[in-house]
Chains A and B, each alone.
Chain A
């Protein structure tokens, strides 16, 4: 081709076609993934707060009958806390369906929970109508998905110089070192690359040496061996002249120590802010959860380490989790180990560390909601090896990322330390999934939440039997079943009467007496004196039933309504 004009035209045509993605007939479905989604999202990268907002809006606009978008509150800096209500909005009010709550990114640097949450909303909506299992799930249940509950911190992590570990915090200023000055000695991006990496200095009295297998890495010198480097911590200078570097950073508190169950102050455990829900972002979630008592299961996404965590967060709270509830947790957790290779089902206080006032503690302890926290991405994924070491991270970077994750060591004249070198892993390595490992981890974690959500209660009126009594009276006996594993009330809920009882309401006939049938075979019943037409049952157990009875007179036509906060509503009619 030697006509330059034509080349430009062809390029423009191709270019614009590419921007619009492929046409339908150019695509063949990879099994398990919606091939022709209404909303195209690339799942091998991360999105800023604005990016997240854009995806939420597109999803809601493209699926008006499946996804509703709302803001449940504002962050400290005034960003919206977005929440997607994902269900079949046409068959029933979502508040009358068992609800599954998902959020991500409570820790600012733990990004991928946001993308995993968005992937879940996207997958559910794009699969509705073409996948029977997903369609039935969306007819029965509702998903409440808050992709990021720390949007301030998220954008700071992405846009400002940070390490892989900072900030966990939100951005309410806080005087970390108690000197009366606030956030006065933060990191300094000395080499100006947007990443806070390590400072090291060559010295014969250093206790580190170069790793002979990968000289980018420092390893401890043996006790009898001369070292060549000392480590000086993260990039920074002493800005306030107190002899410490980076000791009063942006933030700093831990939003996951701010929840209203077994809360303890900062001098018992570092990170707590003032009192439960003293942070506006968490308060927004609390308000939403309190206003949606139908939430029966929940998931919060963190990183890192490949863990499926349940409470209790602290040993002092061990008694809260009793046998019946642990059975449910175990069944879900073990399924998770099965479907997410490299992830382990663990208990926070035993297997990780103590957390007082963590989010999962409040969801379960405060509201009786079975809740998991997943620590996303595992070093297992470097080489599908559960014994991966730090050296494997270097090897993975070299062989699979072609050193994209590393800032090469470079000399720098430091005002306090003199000649040093700056380098190390970038902030977006080690905790957040590398691009090519993002979508598959998102899918597996979503599948875990779907298993959990599927097992929220499914209530049915199994049978209604009538028997004639003398004096024109009739005895109506109804059997109500729960066809899933999760009860309408966790046993912790029953102990503390967290959620109201379930109601089985008879309408249309005149109720003379109302009874809970405790043992049908032996005819052991308990009469309810107050409002006998509205029988209160404490719980409808998982894979179990309750039997209620009325003695009625009058109309032959009547209906029975089961009204359960966490189990949803079901109506049966004699007509």
Chain B
């Protein structure tokens, strides 16, 4: 394996040291979270939200100083896709970064301002397959499900035909096959294009039997519901793995309930397949104007693009594709239904490789076929042992045909070799610190008191010093976000002649402000308050003369 150089050093955050040499399993992850929680119990606390059907815990680590519930919060969620192990490392990595940086003033000041909720693993049932005796890329939880809706539950699982502990592919030599050997790499199979005169030579299936003889291979195994298809936005009803209805699962319910109870959540950061940090969602006035809103709002698009530009600057996301949008996905729910800012990234992409015979030296290119791109990168990066060579197996359904098992090993195309994780985590930590610094911060400014006869006119501006608005434009419509409450408290003997005691404001933009004015009869002190749980609350006391 080649050496990768750290591009971004931990300028803002202590670098996270890595003792680990593989992705954490459930108990290691819990141990790590426990270690952080135990390091400083006034700042960190670890809770169990639920236990899955597979007996695994859904854990949340909370971090913050003082009145956590009334400070803007960033929720960081990993494991929305169970086979994407990197995601939990990214969430955990930032928690470790904060803990390691506790001694630094910059980190203390962030924790004074912002609360963090870490939910590193939403799909522990699925993620456990990475460490299982039989390894395959699993998305579904352990809730028994009839994925092909044929009335039988789990009747057609994978079978490890070559007994290597991995589920790869099965190819059958057949003149009626639709696949052929890739001309550039004889290990890979590619669909034959009849219009180019190409002829198929193989059938390609996943590794296993067709136990229920329905013509499909391994379409209904032990996997249950895929949590990243189980949320309410564009819920793909009755598609495999979506569950019987949205938010039907222990995990999805626990996480939704937890977040609905946290009024202070301002932004949700998701490590998962969906991407709007490299490819921000684009505004479409028609889709945004329909009653079922299916486009990001205009103002939210701008804010998202701004944050995405910061992300790209720090991360340099080489090899990133066009982005992914998941029907029933968590990141999509976090914006469209939970109405918070939702920022999602896979965190790593198969990198491009230097182009052979390129005009400019150092020019890199990524093959448009992901499998080819992976193989090219794997060769270039010197990855070892990433491919299971095709080996003949006895397959009872193909007694007179040549049946072989082989292919790229599971998990490798979406999860980088663990040695790269440290660098990826440190870059993301730098981005997350800059994101935390963008959070809204309210302050009363330009406070004026003027005499109007015997009355005092109090005028003040409530300004948002953050680099992002107090809340999304979509959030203005949601009852799951509080409004920004501006109130004046008078003392005994004072009378409010003009101005409301309580007024509610929908949103204050980045650097924006709202002006309020009251006429008070009487002397003493008045107290102004402005804010909401997701913005923090600014208070000022004014002396009336």
Contact = CB atoms under 8 A, between A and B. Distances in A.
B337 interface: yes
A173 to B, nearest CB: 13
A51 interface: no
Contacts of A276: 232, 245-248
A371 to B, nearest CB: 16
Contacts of B339: 265, 267
A366 B248 CA distance: 12
Interface in A65-101: none
Nearest to B263: A180
Contact of A180 (B235, B482, B500): B482
Contacts of A278: 247, 257
A175 B257 contact: no
Contacts of B480: 266, 274
Interface stretch (A199-207, A327-335, A495-503): A495-503
A362 interface: yes
Given A263-B235, A276-B246, A497-B238, A176 B502 contact: no
Interface string A161-190: 000000000000011111110000000000
Nearest to A259: B245
B502 A265 contact: no
B85 interface: no
Nearest to B247: A275
A290 B504 CA distance: 43
Contact of B292 (A180, A316, A496, A536): A316
Given A267-B474, A496-B237, A260 B482 contact: no
A267 B237 contact: no
A32 interface: no
Given A240-B502, A274-B260, A497 B485 contact: no
Report the interface size class on chain A: 35 or more
Contacts of A179: 482-483, 485, 502, 504
A290 B244 contact: yes
Interface string A263-286: 111111100001111100000001
Contacts of B244: 260, 290, 366
B479 interface: yes
Interface in B209-241: 212-214, 232, 235, 237-238
A241 to B, nearest CB: 4
B501 A530 contact: no
A276 B244 CA distance: 11
A242 B237 contact: no
B378 interface: no
Nearest to B214: A530
A142 B480 CA distance: 41
A243 B500 contact: yes
A27 interface: no
A443 B214 CA distance: 50
A237 B361 CA distance: 77
A500 B150 contact: yes
A83 to B, nearest CB: 20
B502 A241 contact: yes
Nearest to A503: B151
B291 interface: yes
Contacts of A496: 149, 237-238
A119 interface: no
B190 interface: no
Given A260-B245, A497-B149, A529-B213, A176 B479 contact: yes
B238 A498 contact: yes
B214 to A, nearest CB: 7
Contacts of A530: 212-214
A530 B211 CA distance: 9
A178 B146 CA distance: 42
B112 to A, nearest CB: 22
Q: Which of A276, A316, A501 has the most CB of B within 10 A?
A: A276
B482 A263 contact: no
Size range of the chain B interface in the assembly: 35 or more
A265 B533 CA distance: 21
A82 to B, nearest CB: 24
Contact of B151 (A175, A243, A501): A501
Contacts of A175: 479, 482
B292 A268 contact: yes
Contacts of A268: 291-293
Interface string B473-510: 01001111111010000000000000011111000000
Contacts of A448: none
Contacts of B474: 267
B232 A263 contact: yes
Contacts of B146: 500
Interface in A309-323: 316
Contact of B483 (A178, A290, A365, A500): A178
Given A179-B504, A274-B260, A276-B232, A260 B246 contact: yes
B479 A366 contact: no
A496 to B, nearest CB: 4
Nearest to A178: B483
A301 interface: no
A316 B253 CA distance: 26
A103 B44 CA distance: 47
Contacts of B257: 274, 278
Contacts of A242: 500-504
A60 to B, nearest CB: 31
B246 A500 contact: no
Contacts of A180: 482, 485, 532-533
Contact of B237 (A241, A261, A274): A261
Contacts of A354: 291
Interface in A242-272: 242-243, 260-261, 263-269
B504 A178 contact: yes
A176 B504 CA distance: 13
Nearest to A274: B260
B256 interface: yes
Contacts of B246: 260, 263, 275-276
A176 B257 CA distance: 18
25 contacts: A177-B504, A178-B482, A178-B483, A179-B483, A179-B485, A179-B504, A240-B502, A241-B500, A241-B501, A242-B503, A243-B500, A260-B248, A263-B246, A265-B337, A267-B293, A268-B292, A269-B291, A274-B480, A276-B232, A277-B245, A354-B291, A362-B245, A496-B237, A530-B214, A536-B151
Given A180-B533, A268-B293, A274-B257, 20 more contacts: A178-B483, A178-B504, A179-B483, A180-B485, A180-B532, A260-B244, A260-B248, A263-B245, A267-B477, A267-B479, A268-B291, A274-B260, A275-B247, A275-B337, A276-B245, A276-B248, A277-B247, A278-B257, A497-B238, A529-B213
The 10 closest A-B pairs by CB, nearest first: A260-B245, A500-B151, A497-B149, A267-B477, A275-B247, A496-B238, A530-B213, A529-B213, A241-B501, A242-B502
